[in-house]
Amino acid sequence: MKYLIILASGAADDPIPELDGKTPLDAARTPGLDALAVDGKTGLIATQPDDLAMAEEVALLGALGYDPHAYFTGEAGLAAAAFDTRIGPERIAVRHNLATEADGAIADHAAGQITVPEAQVLVAALQGALDRPDVTFHVGRGFAGVTIVPSVRDGVPACVSVAEAMGRPTDEILPSGEGAEILRRIVNASREVFVEHDINRVRADLDENPATLFWPWGAGRPPVLPSFESRFKLTGAVVAAHESARGIGRLAGMEVPNVAEATATYKTNYAAKAECALEVLNTFDLVVIHAASPGDASLDGNAALKRQLIEDIDAHIVQPALDLAARSGDMRILFLATRHVATTARHPTRNAVPLAMFGPGVQAVRHARLSEAAAAEGELVIAQGHTLLQYFLRP
């Protein structure tokens, strides 16, 4: 048996008036997802425990069968593993976003989806202004990345995630606690360095949101994960551009191939990602595809874009996977909306999210299409996200 897991970040949502009272998932044209649901099983799963950070990383750990209560050490500790960087005992990682600040609050968490080359120039300028060789910046998707800073003993600074910071006065929620002073200094330096930088002047001329703020969050150190193969007796691979998805894959000892056209932004090439994943499935027992952008569209308050991204995932990832499953006859597919991100509120929630499971040994029961409401009436109710994989893999 081969296993394919498709993770759509933040794809679950609330009903939205501009979509005629439907969610983006329900409003989207998704023949592939509907086929998974009609010929398989659906249900809801809790991926965001009440006692942990509300984070994509928590959902990703659970999706790969790792209990986040045991292995979640902060978002940045997982994302840092995606880069060739060492975090010693006197250093700590933080996630960072290059954001647009307006009227003292974050107005755009991704600075208009600023590109990798632009972000590299900006963080290089920030590095020069800081004159701190013990601070290193690692650019991931452009607007997002990882920064390594000195730590104070074993302390971890308290930081507000970029998603939870949206619309709040930034000066009231700056990093605090042990080791936070250097982070506050970087934030303040970014305001001075970025505001008149040529990159942002050009972006303004093009009517694109400028990157005016460096926002640190998710401080942590990498956990030690037992290898995926040792736990599940299966070889595995993760096809992703999102920093934390790649980092978790590497920490779990899984193959993490590079797909040049996969950017984890709105301009990513889902078809190239799917082509890589389905090719890798020839060699590995289980492959995970992570699509990062639906949740970002919610943080941007863009319901129409989120619907379009879900349709793109369906057309370029789900349907080719179904075609392969039909030809092979020995392949199971799992689709999971990793988190619920409310587009109207531009904020993630802890609501349970829909899943669909399809393939040999998965008996269809209800024959209903996939949506949040339909999944709520489905056969599967899974209270702990990290138990899903064992269920999916069962003989």
> What digits encode the pLDDT tens for the residues 201-234?
999 999 999 999 999 999 999 999 999 999 999 9
Look at residue 148 and give its three-state secondary structure: strand
Q: What length does the chain have?
A: 395
* pLDDT of 364: 87
CATH 3.40.720.10 domain span(s) along the chain: 2-72+224-393
The confidence score (pLDDT) of residue 155 equals 79
pLDDT at residue 86 tops 90: no
CA distance 276 to 281: 9
| Average pLDDT over all residues of the chain | 95
The listed CATH number (3.40.50.1110, 3.40.50.11540, 3.40.720.10, 3.40.50.1860) that belongs to domain 2-72+224-393? 3.40.720.10
With a threshold of 0.85, does the pTM exceed it? yes
Pick left, alpha or beta for residue 87 (phi over 0 → left; psi -120 to 50 → alpha; otherwise beta). beta
Cross-strand pairs, 286: 3, 236
**pLDDT tens sequence across 238-271:** 999 999 999 999 999 999 999 989 999 999 999 9
Q: What is the pLDDT of residue 88?
A: 80
Sorted by sequence, the CB contacts under 8 Å of residue 35 that are 6+ apart come out as 322, 358
Residue 350, token pair as written in the block: 């802890």
Distance (Å, whole) CA 37 – CA 138: 40
Torsions phi, psi for 29 (to 5 deg):
-85, 110
When pLDDT is cut at 50, 70 and 90, the band that residue 367 belongs to is confident
Whole-number pLDDT of residue 366: 78
pLDDT given at position 362: 94
Tell me the mean pLDDT in the region 54-71.
97
- Average pLDDT score over residue span 292-299: 96
